[in-house]
Chain A
Amino acid sequence: MKFLEHKAKEIFARYGIPIPRGTLASRPDDIVDPPLPCMVKAQVLVGGRGKAGGIRPAETLDEARRVASEILGMDIHGYRVKHVYLEERLDIAKELYLGLTIDRSAREPLLMATAMGGVEVEQVPRERLFMEHIPAIIGIQPYVLRTLRTKLELAKETGDQVASIARKAYELFRREDAELVEINPLVVTPDGRVIAGDAKLVIDDNAEYRHPDYANLDQDRTPLEEEAHDKGIVFIQLDGDIGVIANGAGLTMATLDVLNLKGGKGGTFLDLGGTDDPEKVKQAFEILIKANPTVILVNIFGGITKADTVATGLKQALEEMKTNIPVVARIKGVNEAQAKEILQSIGMYDAETIEEAAELAVKLRAGGA
């Protein structure tokens, strides 16, 4: 789950991390008493909004409304701006960076910080970057914070505040099941306050059940992806035209890759998973058909999934949705013969291997287009 800046800041504040005063608006008329002078900030789940013109200053209420009206509805890297966040403009003496992520290889949380805030952390030279692993079963120890202060060459007062923010950010990271907590910039004001200028927060989808409050937040999904997500179907829309469905993430990716090598382009990533429920199979195919593919390419290597269950679900979905999209299927597994019979009854093309299925799909597409 990704969080918009204003929502992430709301959670930061809950953990005692200082944030600027701000107010959210979805229409210029909603803006009544912004903290002037302010920054009007587009709320989108994508980086680079500043460069795209999604963050602009305003001095007066009228200007704030005018700027907001210009930013609202903007398209930033494919994301439409539905909300703006009007935030107190901070005087900046110094910009720091503080982040927490999961280091997959080390199997530990990783705390990162640098005095070179405001730029992308990937661009910070390694020797200017403070990085320290934190064992999750132990928690953040004082030495980590001591090292952090030394490495960033912080004055006593600033150092105290940054250390306290790092401790709170770690607490948030653990308690909220975060994959990423990032404060960039972490602003030091001329009067010595340390405040989170921006806020990035990503929470592990697997932990959604522990955080029911966040269940209804807008995510960066297409409407069809949203529908699939609600039905518990793993589905991603891609920019090709061939509808790909397979079982298992690796096999689905491999099927898309093979299709590409054979000159086709997948329009969907649909992982049927290990289901043996005909209703779920039908729902998956309904999503696939709604994606409007030129050809459907099915690749099943059954373990738990039975081949005839998949075939039945596909047949039902095609009939109910009254569509005659050509189907190429390569189905291996339990009850393979019954599956082939069902699929032949709807005029499906039968393939023995992924490679053959992909070639056939590309040919059908070319023939139909």
Chain B
Amino acid sequence: MAVLLTKKARVVVQGITGHQGQFNTRTMRDFGTKVVAGVTPGKGGTKVEGVPVFDRVKEAVLRRKANAAISFVPAAYAKDAAVEAIEAGLKLLVIITERIPFHDSLELMPYARSKGVTVIGPNCPGLATPGQAKMGIMPNHIFKEGDAGVISRSGTLTYEIVNHMTQGGFGQSTCIGIGGDPINGTSMVEALAMFQRDRKTKRIVLVGEIGGTAEEEAADFIQRKVTKPVVAYVAGRTAPPGKRMGHAGAIIQAGKGTAESKIKAFADAGVSVAQFPVEVASLLAAT
């Protein structure tokens, strides 16, 4: 087992004809993902990497039985693309796109929920279940099948940590990049609940960062509901207050969202917190 993504996924790539869409269609297939269709309005009838391209998501569902979508659609059209995928009946949506206006997410996320749709992202590296499928942009070679569930607000920092884990002998059940935006489709707590339920997952790694209270809420949830060992890393110990550190969600506001607060919450909940990214693997060994 794994969470959210298995080899059963039949993926449609929204924005497949763009640079990112093309490149990642190739790497997702190399990972073993069934990429069954692409969608770019106006480009229907063409092919990308041998994958048929349609004008509309509904066609991809009808003709190719797509059941999950990954979106590379530019920010200004991302809401449009997501609603189209939801209305076409897809229940899993991975939104890679960054810089989506907050107010679009404020409409989109509750709407997706009301339709029973799981959204991962936006502004995220996506999902990877080693040995089965990837809906995302992470480098393939860093992963190894295993029993550690990974949840992260970051992209490249996740690659760094997953790479150390793989080298240290800790493969992954599923890696969920929940994204660096203030409003995300799937929260850290929800991702934790999935891994707690998943039988294959024996341990959990959380990669958090400054801004918001996702880590504090996760710590509270871990204390109450998670029986599997958890190791965490929190980025931004040295970030100045009031500055947006690259990610839209990574900002200390009115004294809230500091790394200290998150690290303390984790420590109080019995989570091992790594000081250095490289330590995550050794802390896993100690659990």
Residues of A within 8 A of B (CB): 102, 104-105, 107-109, 122, 135-137, 174, 177, 179, 204-207, 209-210, 234, 236, 238, 246-254, 256-261, 266, 269, 271, 274, 301-304, 332-333, 353-355
B247 touches A301 (CB 8 A): no
Q: Are A107 and B250 in contact (CB under 8 A)?
A: no
Pick 26 A–B contacts, CB within 8 A, sort by A.
Answer: A104-B182, A104-B183, A104-B212, A104-B249, A105-B187, A105-B212, A108-B106, A136-B103, A174-B103, A205-B248, A207-B101, A207-B102, A250-B153, A250-B154, A251-B160, A253-B236, A254-B157, A256-B238, A260-B238, A301-B160, A303-B137, A304-B23, A332-B163, A354-B277, A354-B278, A355-B276
Q: Is the CB of A249 within 8 A of B180?
A: yes
CB-CB nearest in chain A for B234:
A257
Given contacts A107-B106, A236-B243, A252-B245, 13 further A-B contacts (CB under 8 A): A102-B102, A104-B183, A136-B107, A204-B101, A207-B101, A234-B246, A246-B156, A248-B155, A250-B154, A253-B209, A253-B245, A269-B246, A303-B139
Please, which residues of chain B bring their CB within 8 A of the CB of A246? 156
A232 to B107 alpha-carbon distance, docked (Å)? 27
Mark out the residues of chain B between 79 and 112 whose CB falls within 8 Å of any chain A CB in the assembled complex.
Answer: 99-103, 105-107, 109-111
Say how far B280's CB is from chain A's closest CB, in angstroms: 11
Using a CB–CB distance below 8 Å, which chain B residues touch chain A?
20, 23, 75-76, 99-103, 105-107, 109-111, 125, 137-139, 152-160, 163, 180, 182-183, 187, 207, 209-210, 212-214, 217, 233, 235-240, 243-250, 254-255, 259, 275-278
A266 and chain B: residue at smallest CB distance: B238
Contact A249 B103 (CB under 8 A): no
Q: Interface on chain A toward B: helix, strand, loop, or mixed SS? A: mixed
Set of chain B residues within 8 Å of A303, measured between Cβ atoms: 125, 137-139, 155-156, 159
Q: What distance in Å separates the Cβ of B6 from its nearest Cβ neighbour in chain A?
A: 23
Among A102, A209, A234, A260, point to the contact of B237 (Cβ < 8 A). Answer: A260
* B245 contacts across to A, CB distance below 8 A: 236, 249, 252-253, 269
- Given A109-B106, A253-B250, do A301 and B101 touch, yes or no (CB 8 Å)? no
B110 is contacted by which of A137, A179, A248 (Cβ under 8 Å)?
Answer: A137
**How far, in Å, is B97 (CB) from chain A's closest CB?**
10
Bound CA–CA A134/B59 (angstroms):
35
Smallest beta-carbon distance A269→chain B, Å: 6
Could you say which residues of chain A place their CB within 8 Å of the CB of B277?
A: 254, 258, 354
In the bound complex, what is the Cα–Cα distance between A209 and B100 (angstroms)? 11
In the complex, what's the smallest C-beta–C-beta distance from B21 to chain A, in angstroms?
A: 12
Chain A residues closer than 8 Å to B105, beta-carbon distance: 107
B137 touches A304 (CB 8 A): yes
Q: What residues on A are CB-neighbors of B101 within 8 Å?
A: 177, 204, 206-207, 210
Hey, which chain B residues are within 8 Å of A355, CB to CB? 276, 278
Most B-side CB within 10 Å, residue of A102, A207, A238, A248: A248
Contact A248:B237 (CB < 8 A) given known A105-B214, A269-B245: no
CB contacts (< 8 Å) of B182 on chain A: these are 102, 104
Q: Are B246 and A253 in contact (CB under 8 A)?
A: yes
Q: A258 contacts B212, CB within 8 Å?
A: no
Chain A hits for B183, CB < 8 A? 102, 104, 107
Residues of A within 8 A of B238 (CB): 238, 253, 256-257, 259-260, 266
CB distance B107 to A204 under 8 Å? no
> Which chain A positions have C-beta within 8 A of B102?
102, 177, 179, 204, 206-207
For residue A270, which residue of chain B has the nearest CB?
A: B246
A207 to B100 CA separation, bound complex (whole angstroms):
8
Q: In the complex where A209-B76, A248-B154, A249-B247 touch, is A238 in contact with B107 (Cβ < 8 A)?
A: no
Please report the C-alpha to C-alpha distance between residue A137 and residue B106 in the assembled complex, in whole angstroms. Answer: 8
Contact (A257, B109) CB under 8 Å given A105-B213, A174-B103, A248-B155 = no
